């Protein structure tokens, strides 16, 4: 690939790749780590990701009968937490949650986890990209994306899709890592991110590169205030964010009015 091509491309961790290359690379990466994904999340975050996801669903406040679109839903962490609050009796059989993700392997594991928990209805697992959601305009009450926006090729296009899919009065929530934390903690965080996480990825998942990508993609993600501006530019209103665990992650909330 020539320098001209790479400089006009998009970030893939610390590398630049052509725009059309990024989605297949990311899909391959998540297909390959899928079987270790849940275990790695627990190990890397010492279980803290569970608290963040619980906080996301608590802030979302899903109501029975609402339709939730969980984009980049992976192995179903958000869907499985939200389902009991959405699927009161009559709603359970209606497929009130759509988990969209381009990685078939991540979805397969999510589907199997749901079955293990005795969940036979209420969640539909759909192979799709955040930039091209297979749902009608103004058809969902709630849109969530947890640790997914960082992976999409064009964040602006994904946010525009979120607005298109939401009904007027619908809620948008994004959970994502932040690129910078308190300056005093930054050296320790760098050591953890660039040394511990890739090594753990190698030992547990046999894939150092995937977890190096994870860390590098976090550093390239917009800061909280920049993401607020992008969400507002996509036409969503009342944009706010909450920092989690000293700003290691953040929840961004907005509404389609
Ligand atoms: C870090 S995982 C997060 C999974 C889940 N939301 C969670 O919090 O555990 C990121 C997910 O984003 C998905 N993903 C990557 N690129 C995507 C895209 N363009 N559109 C939608 N999802 C994407 C991956 O396949 C993967 O399942």
Q: What is the pLDDT of residues 116-167, one digit of tens each?
A: 999 988 899 999 999 999 999 999 999 999 999 999 999 999 999 999 999 9
The strands making up 237-244's β-sheet, listed across from edge to edge, are 123-127, 97-101, 68-71, 140-146, 166-177, 249-256, 237-244
Atom of ligand 1 lying closest to residue 74 CA: 27
30-81 tens-digit pLDDT: 999 999 999 999 999 999 999 999 999 999 999 888 999 999 999 999 999 9
Pocket residues: Cβ below 6 A from ligand 1: 23, 26, 30, 71-74, 77-78, 101-103, 106, 129-130, 146-148, 151-152
Q: 121 C-alpha vs ligand 1 centroid, how far in Å?
A: 22
By most ligand atoms within 8 Å of CB, the mutation choice from 39, 98, 99, 102 for ligand 1 is: 102
**Could you tell me the two tokens for 128?**
């799709």
Tokens 């009968």, residue located: 65
User: Which of residues 143 and 95 earns the better pLDDT score?
Assistant: 143
Nearest-angstrom CA–CA distance, 145 and 156: 14
Nearest-angstrom CA–CA distance, 103 and 89: 31
The rounded mean pLDDT for the chain is 92
What's the total number of domains in the chain? 1
Provide the 10 A C-beta neighbour count for residue 203: 10
CATH assignment of the domain containing 252: 3.40.50.150
Atom 13, ligand 1: residue with shortest CA distance: 72
Nearest-angstrom CA–CA distance, 50 and 124: 22
Q: Quick one: pLDDT band at residue 6, thresholds 50, 70, 90?
A: very low
Low-confidence winner among 27-31, 98-102, 205-209 (lowest mean pLDDT)? 205-209
Return the DSSP state at 246. Answer: G
Does residue 201 form part of some domain?
A: no
Domain extent for 105: 3-182+210-256
Nearest-angstrom CA–CA distance, 152 and 18: 13
By most ligand atoms within 8 Å of CB, the mutation choice from 151, 197, 205, 210 for ligand 1 is: 151
Nearest Cα residue to 106 out of 136, 135, 79, 72: 72
Q: 101 C-alpha vs ligand 1 centroid, how far in Å?
A: 6
Does residue 235 form part of some domain?
A: yes
Where do runs of H (alpha helix) occur along 117-223? 155-165, 186-191, 197-200, 208-219
Does residue 226 form part of some domain?
A: yes
């Amino acid at each position: 690939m020539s320098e001209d091509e790479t400089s006009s491309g998009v970030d893939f961790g610390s590398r630049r790749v052509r725009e059309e290359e990024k989605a297949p690379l990311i899909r391959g990466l998540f297909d390959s780590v899928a079987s270790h994904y849940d275990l790695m999340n627990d190990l890397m975050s010492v279980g803290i990701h569970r608290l963040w996801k619980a906080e996301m669903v608590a802030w979302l406040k899903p109501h029975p009968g609402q339709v939730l679109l969980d984009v980049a839903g992976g192995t179903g962490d958000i869907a499985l937490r939200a389902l009991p609050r959405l699927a009161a009796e009559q709603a359970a059989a209606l497929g009130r949650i759509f988990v969209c993700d381009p990685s078939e392997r991540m979805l397969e594991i999510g589907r199997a986890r749901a079955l293990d928990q005795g969940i036979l209805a209420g969640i539909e697992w759909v192979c799709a990209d955040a930039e091209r959601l297979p749902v009608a305009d103004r058809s969902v009450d709630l849109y969530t994306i947890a640790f997914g926006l960082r992976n999409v090729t064009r964040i602006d296009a994904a946010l525009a899709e979120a607005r298109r899919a939401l009904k007027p009065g619908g809620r948008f929530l994004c959970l994502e890592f932040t690129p910078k934390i308190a300056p005093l903690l930054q050296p320790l965080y760098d050591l953890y991110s660039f040394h511990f996480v890739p090594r753990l990825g190698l030992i547990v998942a046999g894939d150092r590169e995937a977890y190096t990508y994870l860390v590098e993609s976090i550093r390239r993600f917009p800061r909280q205030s920049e993401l607020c501006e992008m969400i507002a530019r996509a036409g969503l209103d009342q944009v706010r964010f909450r920092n989690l665990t000293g700003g290691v992650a953040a929840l961004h909330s907005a509404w389609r009015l």
